């Protein structure tokens, strides 16, 4: 299958730019491979660029992916999932794709609206003008209500080179659909308001694979970048639903693809965080007091990306718990 040539709602724009910097996983030793950001096979027909692996993919948010662009190699064409954060990243994804297949791109899936995941649409349409782009109908609605411009500015606004323009997905989904694309069956799931109000989880039964989008990033504090977009009880429930699909391999929004132990770890952390916040609320603690307590109680996770930024997630959890009392 693989012809390889390399080794195997934000409060304000200023606030979001700060959040994005915190949102991104950092590595103490950033290396370069040649070429950078290779596709790595995770099943017979699926390959992933692990954007958070900064030994192989440099940490440059406009030129290189920071998430996990993925390719499903069908009989007659390629289905891309979450093609990255910019025009430049999308072009890089296509360059790396040519190293593993000569089949054309026949479809694109966008998991959710956060700009690191989907602004690469522009490059795919540049190369394949008629390619259908699938996303939840609510994502499309939010883009058209102004969030498309917002995310372009937030992710790529400081870039001096060729400018990224957002490309709106044109095939709305709501979850529950079964599609055949490139000769491959794709099942689309939406488990309710989780990481966002429109997360798509894409299942490829033939490969025993599930794409989790932003529902699961691991090892990393979940929904840290834009916590007010999340419903944390819903994110727990949606992660449980995804695990219940019993896939052989799960592809997170960021982090290494793996078996179900990976989303189970993420679920255990998120559940402990939510339950600890609820207990602190019931005890009459302020959110900052809950944060200090949980940093101690959850010390086993202190090496996870953005652990020192727990406060933003806990504050939003605290607010949601408070609202549920009324």
In a domain, 4, yes or no: no
In a domain, 268, yes or no: yes
What tokens appear for 118 in the block? 């989907």
Helix residue ranges, H only, 47-144? 87-98, 115-118, 121-127, 137-142
Q: In the prediction, which pLDDT does 8 show?
A: 35
Q: 33 with 7: CB under 8 angstroms?
A: yes
State which residues form the domain around 200: 13-324
In a domain, 1, yes or no: no
In a domain, 273, yes or no: yes
Q: What is the pLDDT of residues 194-242, one digit of tens each?
A: 999 999 999 999 999 999 999 999 888 888 888 899 999 999 999 999 9
Is 68 or 25 the better-scoring residue by pLDDT?
Answer: 68
In a domain, 85, yes or no: yes
In a domain, 6, yes or no: no
Domain count across the chain: 1
Cβ neighbors of 263 (< 8 A, separation 6 or more) are 212, 216, 218, 239, 242, 243, 250, 252
In a domain, 3, yes or no: no
The Cα–Cα gap between 25 and 270 comes to 18
Q: What is the pLDDT of residues 85-122, one digit of tens each?
A: 999 999 999 999 999 999 999 999 999 999 999 999 99
Checking if the pLDDT of 12 tops 50, the result is no
Among residues 96, 116, 110, 91, the alpha carbon closest in space to that of 39 is found at 96
Checking if the pLDDT of 21 tops 70, the result is no
In a domain, 8, yes or no: no
Report the CATH number that the domain containing residue 283 is assigned in CATH: 3.60.15.10
């Amino acid at each position: 299958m693989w012809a390889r040539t390399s080794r195997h709602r934000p409060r304000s724009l200023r606030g979001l730019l700060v959040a994005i910097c915190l949102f991104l996983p950092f590595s103490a030793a950033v290396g370069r491979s040649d070429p950078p950001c290779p596709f790595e096979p995770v099943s017979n027909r699926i390959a992933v660029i692990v954007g958070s692996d900064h030994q192989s993919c440099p940490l440059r948010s406009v030129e290189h992916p920071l998430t996990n662009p993925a390719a499903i190699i069908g009989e007659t064409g390629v289905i891309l999932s979450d093609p990255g954060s910019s025009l430049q990243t999308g072009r890089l994804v296509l360059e790396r794709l040519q190293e593993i297949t000569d089949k054309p791109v026949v479809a694109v899936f966008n998991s959710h609206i956060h700009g690191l995941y989907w602004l690469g649409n522009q490059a795919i349409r540049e190369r394949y003008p008629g390619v259908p782009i699938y996303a939840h109908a609510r994502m499309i609605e939010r883009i058209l209500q102004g969030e498309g411009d917002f995310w372009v500015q937030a992710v790529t606004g400081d870039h001096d080179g060729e400018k990224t323009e957002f490309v709106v997905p044109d095939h709305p989904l709501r979850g529950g659909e079964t599609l055949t694309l490139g000769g491959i069956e794709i099942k689309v799931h939406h488990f309710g308001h989780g990481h966002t109000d429109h997360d798509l989880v894409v299942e490829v039964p033939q490969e025993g694979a599930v794409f989790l989008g932003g529902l699961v990033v691991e090892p990393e504090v979940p929904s840290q970048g834009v916590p007010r977009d999340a419903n944390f009880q819903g994110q727990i429930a949606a992660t449980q639903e995804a695990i219940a699909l019993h896939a052989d391999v799960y592809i997170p929004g960021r982090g290494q693809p793996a078996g179900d132990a990976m989303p189970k770890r993420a679920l255990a952390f998120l559940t402990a965080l939510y339950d600890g916040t609820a207990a602190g609320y019931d005890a009459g603690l302020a959110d900052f007091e809950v944060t200090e307590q949980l940093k101690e109680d959850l010390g086993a996770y202190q090496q996870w990306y953005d652990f020192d930024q727990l406060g933003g997630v806990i504050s939003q959890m605290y607010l949601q718990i408070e609202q549920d009392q009324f």
